[in-house]
Chains A and B, each alone.
Chain A
């Protein structure tokens, strides 16, 4: 079975631009979460979606938004990019949205903002 897939793999953007990152969960998984991993640190929680509804949000500015589609895939959007948004963006999927459900991570999208 295919794992979590993310696209694109790498992305270079300029300050002030907008970016959209995409994620396809493991088949049968209904929940998708997004994380930001800055070099040398652990991932930080951005959003969790379940059945197309936002179930949780981390401490990120409103420039970050996301949505989940009927097929459970998801998009993360970041507006007005800053240099500090350069990071590895990870998507994770789980069967359900509860805290006891293990999350399986995709390979990530490496975003560089210049």
Chain B
């Protein structure tokens, strides 16, 4: 079984300040972890992924995330927020189930990022 908890439903930051979106995961097997972004009336876009290589993962648009196994966390950060970053962000976990089949992607409930001018 796998699950994801996004610790904040809404995060508000000022333009130019750092962004931190928090995510904790649970998985019975070695997971792959992803962050996706969904802009209003647009499709889901992959920001970055972790698959047991480097624990610090760099993604598109200046975002990065750090995998911490001891804390079962995969927080998303960006040094300086831009107005165009305003969107819904989803932390996602993927792993195999006990039968070797796919459990699909398990999404968190999402964090709504608001950028103040």
Contacts and interface: CB of A to CB of B under 8 A. Distances in A.
Interface of A: 33, 35, 41-48, 55-56, 58, 90, 92, 97-100, 102-108
Contacts of B34: 102
B103 interface: yes
A46 B34 CA distance: 19
B95 to A, nearest CB: 5
- 6 closest A-B pairs by beta carbon, nearest first, are A45-B104, A42-B107, A56-B102, A99-B94, A105-B44, A100-B51
Contacts of A35: 104-105
B46 A99 contact: no
Contacts of B109: 41-42
Contacts of A41: 109-110
Given A90-B44, A104-B46, A48 B110 contact: no
Interface of B: 31-32, 34, 36, 42-46, 49, 51-52, 90, 94-97, 101-110
A107 B43 contact: yes
Given A99-B31, A102-B49, A43 B102 contact: no
A102 B43 contact: no
A56 B104 contact: yes
Given A99-B94, A105-B43, A106-B43, A45 B105 contact: yes
Contacts of A98: 96, 102
Contacts of A45: 103-106
A45 B103 CA distance: 8
A97 B52 CA distance: 17
Contacts of A46: 104
A98 to B, nearest CB: 8
A48 B112 CA distance: 28
Contacts of B44: 43, 90, 92, 105
| Most chain A CB inside 10 Å of its own CB: which residue of B44, B51, B96 | B44
A48 B97 CA distance: 13
13 contacts: A35-B105, A41-B109, A42-B109, A45-B104, A48-B104, A56-B104, A99-B31, A99-B95, A99-B96, A100-B52, A102-B46, A104-B46, A105-B45
